A and B are shown apart, each in its own frame.
Chain A
Amino acid sequence: MSARSLAVISFDGVHLLIPQQAVATIEMASSIVKGDTPGRTIGNLKTKAGEWPVYALTADFKSRVDCPPNYRYCVAINHENREAFSIACEEVSALTIGNDEELKPLQACMRTPGNPIESVVLKGDKLMLLSNVETMQEFLSPRVAA
Chain B
Amino acid sequence: MTTTQAWLLECGESLSIAIGFNEMVELLQNQNSYSVPGSPGYCSRVLIWQESTVVPVMDITSLHSEDGENHENPYICLLKYQQAPQMPLQYLALLVNTPPRRIEIDDDQACELPEEIVRSTLQPVAVSCFLYEDKPVVILDLTYLCSAEFRDLAYSA
User: A residues engaging B (CB < 8 A)?
Assistant: 13-14, 59-61, 104, 106-117, 120, 122, 125, 127, 129, 139
- Rounded to whole Å, the gap between the CB of B39 and the closest CB of chain A is 4
Interface residue? B82 (CB, 8 A): no
Q: Which of A13, A108, A114, A127 contacts B38 (CB 8 A)?
A: A114
Do residues B48 and A129 form an inter-chain contact, with CB atoms below 8 A?
Answer: no
Do residues A112 and B38 form an inter-chain contact, with CB atoms below 8 A?
Answer: yes
Do residues B150 and A106 form an inter-chain contact, with CB atoms below 8 A?
Answer: no
Do residues A14 and B39 form an inter-chain contact, with CB atoms below 8 A?
Answer: no
Q: Which 6 A-B pairs have the closest CB atoms?
A: A115-B38, A127-B34, A61-B37, A104-B54, A110-B39, A108-B148
B-side contacts of A61, CB under 8 Å: 37-38
Q: Which of B53, B148, B150 contacts A111 (CB 8 A)?
A: B148
Q: Which residue of A lies closest to B39 (CB)?
A: A110
- Rounded to whole Å, the gap between the CB of B30 and the closest CB of chain A is 14
Known contacts A120-B54, A122-B48; decide if A109 and B147 are in contact (CB<8 Å).
yes
Residue in A14, A112, A139 whose Cβ sees the most chain B Cβ within 10 Å: A112
Interface residue? B126 (CB, 8 A): no
Do residues B39 and A106 form an inter-chain contact, with CB atoms below 8 A?
Answer: yes
- Rounded to whole Å, the gap between the CB of B91 and the closest CB of chain A is 9
- Cα–Cα distance between A13 and B45 once the two chains are bound (Å): 14
Query: Can you spell out 15 A-B residue pairs with CB atoms less than 8 angstroms apart?
Result: A14-B35, A59-B37, A106-B36, A106-B46, A107-B54, A109-B40, A109-B43, A109-B56, A109-B151, A110-B43, A111-B39, A117-B39, A120-B34, A122-B48, A125-B32
How many cross-chain pairs have Cβ atoms below 8 Å apart between A and B? 77
- Cα–Cα distance between A113 and B46 once the two chains are bound (Å): 18
B-side contacts of A115, CB under 8 Å: 38-39
Interface residue? B5 (CB, 8 A): no
- Rounded to whole Å, the gap between the CB of A61 and the closest CB of chain B is 4
Interface residue? B13 (CB, 8 A): no
Binary CB contact string for chain B from 27 to 64 against chain A (1 if under 8 A, 0 otherwise): 00000101111111001101010010110101000000
Do residues A116 and B38 form an inter-chain contact, with CB atoms below 8 A?
Answer: yes
Q: Which of B35, B51, B90, B155 contacts A107 (CB 8 A)?
A: B90
Residue in A14, A61, A108, A109 whose Cβ sees the most chain B Cβ within 10 Å: A109
Q: Which residue of B lies closest to A15 (CB)?
A: B34
Q: Which of B51, B54, B90, B151 contacts A112 (CB 8 A)?
A: B151
B-side contacts of A104, CB under 8 Å: 53-54
Do residues A111 and B151 form an inter-chain contact, with CB atoms below 8 A?
Answer: yes
Known contacts A104-B54, A109-B43, A122-B48; decide if A117 and B151 are in contact (CB<8 Å).
no
